[in-house]
Amino acid sequence: MKFSCEFNDIEYFFTTEIGPDTNDKYHLFLSGTKLTKYQNNEMKFHTLTINAKYEGQELNYFITGIPLSLDEEEQMEELEDFFEAKEIFEKIEDAFELLLSERKAPPWGLKEYK
């Protein structure tokens, strides 16, 4: 599935693809409803590709092993929850801030943070 959006002046382009089958140990981390959906072949582990563009710069991210429904409407809701839980947009905004800043060191490496 492919989709895009703009958030805080950053253009995002997303692609989800069914990833390789995972080892059984990862199924232990699924909730009861997700495990049932997985066993009924209604859910698979996906790879999410994110392409973010801001002020002529571009960042690419690949996140693997995300359990998502095969139904696209459900998948959108699950991705929204995933983005909020993992603070995806905030992390990408921070990455652009570092990329475009004049600082030579990341903020945690500066004297004022010690």
Q: Convert the pLDDT of each residue in 10-62 to its tens digit.
A: 999 999 999 887 766 677 788 889 889 988 999 999 999 999 999 999 999 99
Tally of domains within the chain: 1
**pTM for the whole structure:** 0.84
> How is the chain classified by DSSP, letter by letter?
-EEEEEETTEEEEEEEEE-PPPPGGGGGGS-HHHHHHHHTTSEEEEEEEEEEEETTEEEEEEEEEEEEESSHHHHHHHHHHHHHHHTHHHHHHHHHHHHHSS-SS-GGGSGGG-
Domain, as residue range, for 64: 2-113
- Give pLDDT tens digits for 66-79: 999 999 999 999 99
